[in-house]
Structure 1
Amino acid sequence: MSQYLRYGKDSALRFDVPSETLVADCTAVPGQVLEDPSARVSACLAEPLGFPPLARAIVPGDRVVISVDPNTPQPCEIISGVVRTLLAGNVRPSDIVVLQTRADVGHSESLARTGSDGVEVVHHDPRDRSQLSYLAASAEANPIYLNRHLCDADFVLPINLTQPEASFGYGGIYGGLYPTFSDAQAPQRFRAAVFGRKAGPRQRCCAEAEEVAWLLGVQLSVQIVAGPGNTTLHALAGLADEVARRSRELVDAAWSIQVPRKASLVIAAIEGDADDQSWENFGRALYAASRVCADQGTIVLCTDLKRKPGPALRRLAVDAQDAELRRQIRHEKSDDAMSASLLLETRNQQRVCLLSRLAEEVVEGIGVGYIADPRQVRRLSEQHDSCILLANAHRAAPHAMLAEPV
């Protein structure tokens, strides 16, 4: 039987891996994707879990800020569902702010189609001090600076992507709110916690994000569970504790994957459009694949990645000891620092190869094997005696029951 692994926006690899070689075919996601995410979000906000309908929770004249997790799939549809619900509840467009991390004309066009021309779309820049306001000091005595629209809001409604707790860079249920919309220092502290790989610092970061949500008065939140590619499996809204518990159950059912044992070859893919083809998702996919790849095995990442590596990843091209590279990467402030640190660690344990739209010298310059075309991936699959296919690896949290191939 043939196997198909989708990557990029509309590309796919076809394999004929023998059953005795194929340890696990993780190319299907249980559940049906939402045909109309916008309508689903509106329905959830009309009957939230453990919370009154959104229209009854907002007083006329309240300033409402919708913060959008940058990893949210189908953001235009999700945002439109929230905005339509607010407008139906007689909230004026001029009282609504959509806060996101990067300029995306598609979001503005989508809002215009809802008849909400007066809705303000703000693009957060953590380096712009004029955008920031001091909220409070955290329980750990860290100063909390947030986008001023959040601090000035009467009602903050976060849209968060729920991720498995075992995923790379997991920031808790409010990771899409904080440190996403903070100053430049908070993300560095959170990255340091991830670099350490210890549970304690990560738990403190998650607790700090929850503390920020509490300080902002957040009670109602929208939680999204992603489907394959740029699709949505589930949308939930409700009281924070209830929606967090239910969304964790749903994300684990979809993306917490158990395989019988590790394999000598893991072929992992990043499916989705240009926004999904990022170095952050490269890191997430690499981490997922490394969890089920045997020591000294091979990881192949199939992507449409065409963005050049950032400053942290480019440091891997320098001929230096790992300890020195690790120190330099820790001090980088760029978004690719976590992926660079992970790649430095992983390439000492497994061979990492990349199918992308990048030039050979760019890929090999960061210590990664260059895959020119899908035929090379298929040939690699014929050279190993154990193989795992992992679709949407940037979403997945796989786990092997046995440590090594049998």
Structure 2
Amino acid sequence: MRGPEGVDIDASVDVVRDALLQPVAGPALPDHVVPGDRVVIAQAGNLPGGQVLSDAIYRAILQSLQAGGVSPDDIQLVIARPTIRSDDPSLTDDSSCTTNQPFPVNVFNPLNDGETAYLLANESGEPLHLARSLVDADVVLAVGSFGYDASLSGRSPEGELWPSFARQNRRQALVTSLLQNRRQALRHWRDEAEQITAQLGVLASLHLVAGNNQTLAGAAFGFPAASVTQARLLAKQWRPSPESRSTLTIAGITDQTCGFADLTRGLAAAARVTSHDGTVCVACTMHEEPGLIFTRWRQGIDLRMLLHEASDSDDIRLHMDALQTSLFARALGDRRLVLLSQLEQELVEDLDIGHAETPDAVNRLAQQADSVCVLHEANRLCPQKI
């Protein structure tokens, strides 16, 4: 199983340009703006592909904005770091942002309240703040990846304005609420995100769908809700429908910066196509040790007690660790896990996880299994439940 085929860099520019000029709903991007408008391009999280692909995407956006009479001097790109993927090393400082553009590029700092402005109050009367640059802009173009997170059983909150551009306390609140009640938290997030988008007056939303091997498969532009609907259609191959469960699933994660959140996502995707007493083998480049909560759980400490202790803490890193551990445990169930990674064998086995030294060890597992399923880029797949 694998996601949709992507296109090369040159074709990616055409894909984005066509989407901006042929929206699924609402006017084309050049018709959203007039000369003199202060335009903020709000990038939530990471875009598909690497730096070269990001530059190509923004070339297409710049051309469309200039066609509407906007000068590069009136354009600003603001990037928000991923919300949930705490172990993602990208966008950790200003050096990681896109620089090959004729307009300013800034990374939003959720820890600096001075970078935010009041937007509205939620149902409980709590004030909700958003990046000041977005609130003050004449036109906001929301840009983000549309994708799935199997550990959350569906669409990922990453790639959306809220809470990517919120203060740190609201970003932390999403993590904490996911830890306490995942389904309720996701429903609340969707409702609050819609309120934020409406209050901000965002009418231009570009959702990008990743293809295989760090490519771009498609782009959907238009009013926010319509853009999401179209992006879901473009991303349907990331949600394959398996015919049956296998006794062994090999889940490949090709990201060079594979972290624990990627591992959890890949495991959750594999669990959806693996028998309850089967084996999941994850092949990745992960080299960082798991967090304290995960380690203590795998060493035999009661998970409920660990999660309760973490939820009482003010340390967001413990909350992140607890959330990923909870999602990991839920996905694994009674299945056996084998890991081919850059972690030391002794460490992996101390975590009560099978260790595969080489790809040959994975091949031997496949030869011994009654049935095998292979997931390419498993951390982006979310197979339909059988």
| 1:223 counterpart residue number | 207
1:47 aligned partner, one-letter code: Q
| 1:127 counterpart residue number | 111
TM-score, with length taken from structure 1: 0.80
**How far 1:392 moved relative to its partner?**
1.3
Q: 1:61 aligns with which of 26, 31, 36?
A: 36
From the superposition, tell whether residues 127 and 317 of structure 1 become closer, same or farther in structure 2 (CA, over 3 Å): farther
**How far 1:398 moved relative to its partner?**
1.0
May I ask how many residue pairs the two structures share in their alignment?
366
| 1:72 counterpart residue number | 47
**How far 1:157 moved relative to its partner?**
1.0
From the superposition, tell whether residues 369 and 174 of structure 1 become closer, same or farther in structure 2 (CA, over 3 Å): closer
Task: Spell out the pairing of 1:296-315 with structure 2 (5 A cutoff).
Answer: 296-310=277-291, 312-315=293-296
Task: Spell out the pairing of 1:303-382 with structure 2 (5 A cutoff).
Answer: 303-310=284-291, 312-316=293-297, 319-330=300-311, 331=313, 332-334=315-317, 335-364=320-349, 366-382=351-367
CA RMSD of aligned residues (A): 2.7
SS in 2 for 1:179: helix
From the superposition, tell whether residues 201 and 173 of structure 1 become closer, same or farther in structure 2 (CA, over 3 Å): closer
From the superposition, tell whether residues 126 and 92 of structure 1 become closer, same or farther in structure 2 (CA, over 3 Å): same
Does residue 399 of the first structure (1) align with residue 384 of the second (2)? yes
| More helix by percentage | 2
Any unmatched runs of 5+ in structure 2? 82-90
**How far 1:221 moved relative to its partner?**
0.4
CA distance in 2, matches of 1:340, 1:173: 18
| 1:184 counterpart residue number | 168
CA distance in 2, matches of 1:257, 1:96: 39
CA distance in 1, matches of 2:181, 2:165: 24
From the superposition, tell whether residues 359 and 121 of structure 1 become closer, same or farther in structure 2 (CA, over 3 Å): farther
Report which stretch shifted further, 183-192 or 254-263: 183-192
From the superposition, tell whether residues 98 and 48 of structure 1 become closer, same or farther in structure 2 (CA, over 3 Å): same
**How far 1:87 moved relative to its partner?**
3.5
Does residue 160 of the first structure (1) align with residue 150 of the second (2)? no
**How far 1:222 moved relative to its partner?**
0.3
From the superposition, tell whether residues 197 and 364 of structure 1 become closer, same or farther in structure 2 (CA, over 3 Å): farther
CA distance in 1, matches of 2:347, 2:326: 18
CA distance in 2, matches of 1:368, 1:147: 42
| 1:9 counterpart residue number | none
From the superposition, tell whether residues 172 and 346 of structure 1 become closer, same or farther in structure 2 (CA, over 3 Å): closer
| 2:85 counterpart residue number | none
| Same amino acid, percent of matched pairs | 28
Q: Is the 8 A contact 2:298 2:351 kept in 1?
A: yes
CA distance in 1, matches of 2:134, 2:292: 31
| More strand by percentage | 1
Any unmatched runs of 5+ in structure 1? 1-25, 402-406
Per-residue CA deviations over 1:141-165 (Å, capped at 9, x if unaligned) read 4432222222222211111222248
1:33 aligned partner, one-letter code: V
| 2:98 counterpart residue number | 108
SS in 2 for 1:397: coil
From the superposition, tell whether residues 60 and 182 of structure 1 become closer, same or farther in structure 2 (CA, over 3 Å): same
Does residue 138 of the first structure (1) align with residue 98 of the second (2)? no
CA distance in 2, matches of 1:322, 1:68: 36
TM-score, with length taken from structure 2: 0.84
| 1:269 counterpart residue number | 252
Per-residue CA deviations over 1:3-42 (Å, capped at 9, x if unaligned) read xxxxxxxxxxxxxxxxxxxxxxx14x44553552233212
Q: Is the 8 A contact 2:4 2:212 kept in 1?
A: no
2:271 aligned partner, one-letter code: S
Q: Is the 8 A contact 1:301 1:354 kept in 2?
A: yes
1:373 aligned partner, one-letter code: T
**How far 1:98 moved relative to its partner?**
1.4
CA distance in 2, matches of 1:342, 1:326: 11
